[in-house]
Structure 1
Amino acid sequence: MELPWMFFGLSPTTVLLIGIVLVLCYLYSTWNFSTFKKMGIPGPPPWPIIGNMQSSKGIQHKEQEWIKEYGKVFGTYEGRQPVINFADPEICKQITVKHFSSFVNRRVLPLNGKPMNSGLTVLVDDQWKRARNTLTPAFSGAKMRMMAPLINQCANELVANMETYCKEEKVAQCKDLYGGFVVDSIASAGFGLDVSSQSQPGHPFVENAKLAFKFSLFSPVFVVVFFFPFLVPLLNLFDVQLFPKKVLDYFVGVTEDAIEMRKPGRDSSNRIDFLQLMVNAHEVYDQHMANKDKEIDEDEGENKVDFVKDGPSSQVKLQKGFTKDEMLAQSLLFFLAGYETTSTLMSFVSYSLATNPEVQNKLHSEIDDIMSDSDDDDDIGYETLKKMTYLDMVVTETLRMYPPAIRFDRECNEDVNISGVSIPKGMIVAVSIYAIHHDPEIYPEPEKFIPERFTKEEKEKRHPYAWIPFGAGPRNCIGMRFALMEAKIGLVRVLQKFTFEPCAETEIPPKLGKLGFLTPPNGIKLSVKRR
């Protein structure tokens, strides 16, 4: 009688080798699965290889189920990587502020392709502090005031496009309309570039930004990084990155052209914006490299700054400035992350107004009242925005319901105890933004859109870390102020003339992304009417 393997043309030796490989893969993938049992932390049972990274509902909804079953502190496995999850505002404060020195760094994917391995989100320790302090001045209140007119110019085209959709009674795909506006705004205010993508359908700027965020859990890069990390050196050998090479090459080219325009003698060299700050820092780097063999006095040739932001103070040396790779990495992050998060925010605000007409009417009234007393005509100044308190409540409530990312994480760099939980060095901890924002104990009826949750009086009743769409502490989103100003200017300019309504193609409720970002896969489709 033939043995079963003979039907597949396999020899007994081959079958034995396959069996050994499968057993080794199983042992490798489950080796850490006793971590939380030893620590006394509850959590869902993991599956071999994939851990707890399986859910047809979306990670955000799965987390909510786990919180109901295991509490606001629970352990999960991403592949074989153990992660402690927290869904508590006070623990968020402990991790991001009080014990910030124990959680300075974000989790870094083990891909080292250039230039993205020099980005602000993946830099660690003093490298990150140096870069953060160099870039922070680009997002000061004074810079925002200077950038507001540039964003208003980009909003002119947005309003014109809305007018076309209104006249032709076409369904507006908000993500696309706002995406072009956001790209133009970032290019103009941050880099001094006139992209004009809104008047050119299919502009490569927008198309490449879209490609950057087409993630799949089953893409080769994700499969290797999360499920078979021992194969990552092969990815690094072939310079494989998280973002497609085509996308990186395009934005690297755009940034290099913009940098070339900033050389001495060019018209743009006197601009003080995001790119110019990096160019200045790069000149410091060049100067350092030219003098690296010379003896430098301890107090000369160095630009020291105090790093103080919701946490401990430390002296950070900026002697080496920015390398070219660092300049390119920060630029790419500004383009890509800024496009995705801000266009998604504006889309969700428009959806929330369309499905809550009483809120839209109230916001229209506020805009009309404040603009009637403004000297800015149609343009929205930075100071004018600050007067629009109801607009701020609408945007804030939208970010509560639909935060761009469902959580953020940190890597523990020393053994520490947080609220009774002993966290060992090397452990990854994650703060569940979406779960905190939808906690009925913090926000009653969390699925309802209620801007009045964010009146001054209501905010004072809640924990200050119960609203964290941009992260928290010194390592929060550096572009938060710019993103909010950009979104608000675009929205106000549109709402001055138009109103949003649901249409037959509007998904109610909207379908949300499932892999960590809530970007609606089908976009937000609405009807636009003249007021």
Structure 2
Amino acid sequence: MSAAVFCALLATVLAILYIQLRRHYSYWARRGVPHEPPKFFVGNMSGIGTLYHWKDINARIYNRFKAQANIIGAYTFFKRVVFIIEPELIKRILIKDFNYFADRGLFHNVRDDPLTGNLLFLDGEQWRVLRHKLSPAFTTGKIRFMFPTMVAVGERLVGACQRLINIGGTVELKELCARYTTDVIGEVAFGIECNSLNDPYAIFRRMDRTIFEKPRHSLLVQAFMFTDPNMARRLRLKSFPDDVSDFFMGAVRETVGYREKNGVQRNDFMDMMLEMKAQRDRLEHTDIREDDLTNGLSIEQVAAQAMVFYLAGFETSSTVMSFCIYELALQPVLQERLREEIFGVLQKTEGKVTYEAIKEMTYLKKVIQETLRKHPVIPHLVRLTTADYSIPNSNITLERDMRIFIPVDAIHHDPDIYPEPEKFDPERFSPEEIEKRHPFTYLPFGEGPRNCIGMRFGELQTSIGVIQLLRSFRFKPSARTQVPIVYAKKNFLIAADGGIHLAVEKLEETI
């Protein structure tokens, strides 16, 4: 082939590629949907993970177009996405028309990475079956059975905080709270005393750090897996590092084996998983497909559910706890007000943290709600259309497999909804203030059939941790405290970059 022919072929290929890319990235323009001009290959994601966090990109797009329409077009690299920003339309998507939006479209690869076969990642019928089977684990009755475990670990949290004060007088709150929630979830989900509060290098805590600080793939590969999970699955990519998968699978097998052999029952999450495994075991000689979850769970499927309960439970709650204490450290008047409520309620119970006592702490509830408003942990909810959907009162149709973003953090920081959004004000959640807002402008746990299944467990775990810390210590800013907070740009979750460092004093009088 001559050089001239090669150059002509190359020019033709490049021209075809250019035309296809130009057509692809003109999708929203052709439909008259407001959108930012995209760049080839990256769409509207320039700077993600380096200059910007997801929340920054969401806020930029939301604030630019919120006055123009109830939906906004965007491109996450090669994928088209649509931002849904109008509360009534959000309500339709999450509840009224949920059947069109039941899937999340997240990456999972059960064949090569069994732990991804969990309630958070799965879609379709498998998700529906799992949600039905797991919901009883998070009823009020079940949570009350788990309550004493949470309180016992919370008491150990006080000792761990005191040891850190003895060393240096300042505490990195995110790490301390993560050690607390790791121990809680470890005991509830695995029936194992993780010992993270006594030993920051305990094996479960080391695995936590590996997952969030040393992911299996680079940011670019993670972005590819997020935007095109089907192709990532065909390429047999995995989400979790092999040593993490091996550890958690081994921990579940060991726990299951011990309980089955010794007839141990603890009325916890793992007990319910054992019941489902026993159901599958009774049918082991029948013809059951591996992905059929209606007839119980295999040991791998049990491990996947325990894994996601563990990860979601320890990371989100510890983040909320640390942000809550951070905000109270910056506003000592609010901190003292909450401490007074805690002391007043605990005096009635002779210092015991009870389920009923926490329900009585109404200001604590407001403080945690405002923390979740200002720092919602997840920047946006993700849904995937399962069929073509015509947006009411418009000529716009969302095609099947269109990815939906509901920008939670951007809505939570909209000054038209929450005046002075950067101000931490728990009174936003007084009954009269809540009544003024559309209920779908506050979405830290999502809403509808696919909301966070462990919402009440997470709120209770967070409340116990905050109570135990404030009843024993006073928190103040230190020389290392970031004001305002700086978020880690490489994480999808909203988290403080470098942690949250505060000065801590032991209270002279406590209860």
Q: TM-score, normalised by structure 2?
A: 0.90
Deviations along 1:116-137, whole A, 9 cap, x unmatched? 3411122222211111111111
Q: Deviation of residue 320 (structure 1)?
A: 1.2
Q: After superposing the two structures, state which structure 1 stretch, 148-157 or 180-189, moved more.
A: 148-157
Instruction: Give the RMSD, CA atoms, in angstroms.
Output: 2.6
Amino acid at match of 1:156: E
* 1:219 to 1:16, Cα distance in 2 relative to 1, 3 A: farther
State the 1:86 CA deviation: 1.5
For 1:393, the equivalent position in structure 2 comes to 366
CA contact (8 A) 2:85 2:406 kept: yes
2-structure distance, mates of 1:152, 1:54: 45
Residues 213 and 14 (structure 1), Cα distance of their counterparts in 2 relative to 1, 3 Å cut: farther
CA contact (8 A) 1:212 1:336 kept: no
Following the alignment from structure 1 to structure 2, what is the Cα–Cα distance between the partners of residues 267 and 49? Answer: 56
Deviates more, 1:187-196 or 1:94-103: 187-196
Residue type of the alignment partner of 1:75: G
Superposed CA offset, 1:421-449 (max 9, x none): 42222211111100111111111111100
Q: CA deviation at 1:26?
A: 5.2
What code does the residue aligned with 2:222 have?
F
Q: Output aligned runs, 1:269-280, within 5 Å.
A: 270-280=265-275
Mapped contact 1:26–1:48 kept (Cα < 8 A): no
Q: Is the 8 A contact 1:184 1:195 kept in 2?
A: yes
Once the two structures are superposed, what CA deviation does each residue of 1:483-508 show, in whole Å capped at 9, x if it has no partner?
11111101101111111100000011
Q: Which has the larger displacement, 519-528 or 164-173?
A: 164-173
Q: Deviations over 1:160-217 (max 9, x none)?
A: 0212233444320111111111111001123221111111122221121122123699
The alpha-carbon distance between structure 1 residues 502 and 234, as it changes in their structure 2 partners (threshold 3 A), is: same
CA contact (8 A) 1:29 1:227 kept: no
Matched residues in 1 for 2:8 and 2:229: separation?
25
Q: Which runs of 5+ in 2 are unaligned?
A: none
Write out aligned runs for 1:238-249 (5 A): 240-249=237-246
- For each residue in 1:203-241, what CA deviation from the matched residue of structure 2 results, as whole angstroms up to 9, or x when unmatched? 2211211221236995353254367879636630xxx31
> Do the aligned residues in 2 keep the contact of 1:169 with 1:528 (CA within 8 Å)?
no
Quote the residue 2:129 is aligned against.
130
Once residues 482 and 186 of structure 1 are traced to their aligned partners in structure 2, the CA distance between those partners, rounded to angstroms, is: 10
Matched, 1:320 2:295: yes
Amino acid in structure 1 at the alignment position of 2:46: Q
Q: Which amino acid counterpart does residue 390 of structure 2 have in structure 1?
A: N
Per the alignment, residue 428 of structure 1 pairs with 403
Residue 26 to residue 526, structure 1, CA distance change in 2 (3 Å): farther
Alpha carbons of structure 1 residues 487 and 203: separation in structure 2 relative to 1, 3 Å: same
Residue matched to 1:288: 283
Mapped contact 2:107–2:226 kept (Cα < 8 A): no
SS at match of 1:262: helix
Letter in 2 for 1:53: M
How far does residue 387 in structure 1 lie from its aligned partner after superposition? Answer: 0.6
Q: Which residue of 1 aligns with 2:35?
A: 43
**Equivalence for 1:384:** 357
Answer whether contact 2:488 2:498 (CA < 8 A) is retained: no
Q: How many residues align?
A: 492
Q: For residues 257-279 of structure 1, give each alpha carbon's deviation from its aligned partner in whole angstroms, at most 9, with x where no partner exists.
A: 1121221x4152x2222111111
Contact 1:148–1:380 (CA under 8 A) maintained in structure 2:
no
CA 1:272/1:28 → structure 2, altered by over 3 Å: closer, same or farther?
A: farther
Which range is displaced more, 197-206 or 490-499?
A: 197-206
Taking the aligned partners of 1:151 and 1:84, their CA distance within structure 2 comes to 40
Are 2:74 and 2:82, in contact at CA under 8 Å, matched by a contact in 1?
yes
Task: Quote the offset at 1:42 in angstroms.
Answer: 1.0
| Aligned-residue offset at 1:285 | 1.9
Mapped to 1, the partners of 2:246 and 2:7 lie a distance apart of 45
Work out whether 1:525 is the aligned partner of 2:501. Answer: yes
**Cα distance, 1:228–1:61 mapped onto 2, change above 3 Å:** closer
Deviates most, 23-32 or 424-433: 23-32
Q: 2:414 is matched with which residue: 431, 439, 452? A: 439
Q: Offset at 1:513?
A: 2.9
Listed as ranges, the gaps of 5+ residues in structure 1 are 1-10, 294-316
* Cα distance change on mapping 1:110 and 1:257 into 2, 3 Å: closer
Q: Give the conservation status (yes or no) of the 8 Å contact 2:481–2:501.
A: yes
Q: 2:435 aligns with which of 460, 471, 495?
A: 460
Find the residue that maps to 2:381 and give its secondary structure: strand
Determine the structure 2 residue equivalent to 1:417.
Answer: 390
In structure 1, the partner of 2:262 is 266
The structure-2 alpha-carbon separation of the partners of 1:32 and 1:163, relative to structure 1 and needing over 3 Å to count, comes to same
Q: Kindly indicate whether the alpha-carbon contact (under 8 Å) linking 2:106 and 2:229 is maintained by their aligned counterparts in 1.
A: no
Query: 1:352, 1:489 → 2: CA distance?
Result: 17
Question: Are 1:337 and 2:333 an aligned pair?
Answer: no
1: distance between equivalents of 2:231 and 2:13? 15
1:349 matched to 2:347? The reply is no
When the two structures are superposed, what TM-score results if normalisation uses the length of structure 1?
Answer: 0.86
Identity %: 32
Q: Note closer, same or farther for the CA distance 1:34–1:249 as it changes in structure 2 (3 Å cut).
A: same
The correspondence for 1:404, drawn from 352, 360, 377, is 377
Counterpart residue identity of residue 77, structure 2: G
Q: 3-state DSSP class of the match of 1:222?
A: helix
1:307 aligns with: none
Alignment partner of 2:440: what SS? coil
Aligned counterparts of 1:139 and 1:73: Cα–Cα separation in 2? 34
SS in 1 for 2:313: helix
Q: Which deviates the most, 73-82 or 393-402?
A: 73-82
Distance, in Å, in 2 between the alignment partners of 1:22 and 1:426 is: 28
Task: Call closer, same or farther: CA 1:48–1:174 in 2, change over 3 Å.
Answer: same
* Deviation readout 1:2-47 (Å, 9 max, x if unpaired): xxxxxxxxx8888778767766765665552122122221111111
User: Aligned equivalents of 1:289 and 1:403: distance in 2?
Assistant: 43
Q: Could you list the per-position Cα deviations for residues 244-293 of structure 1 after superposition, in whole angstroms to 9, with x for gaps in the alignment?
A: 22222222221221121221x4152x222211111111221222343449
1:74/1:86 contact within 8 Å kept: yes
Is the Cα contact below 8 Å between 1:89 and 1:436 reproduced in 2? no
Contact 2:172 2:502 in 1 (8 A): yes
Alpha-carbon distance in structure 1 between the residues aligned to 2:238 and 2:216: 14
Structure 2 distance, partners of 1:325, 1:29, is 41
CA distance in 2, matches of 1:228, 1:251: 27
Asked if 1 retains the 8 angstrom alpha-carbon contact of 2:72 and 2:84, the reply is: yes
Q: 1:245 to 1:369 in 2, by over 3 A?
A: same
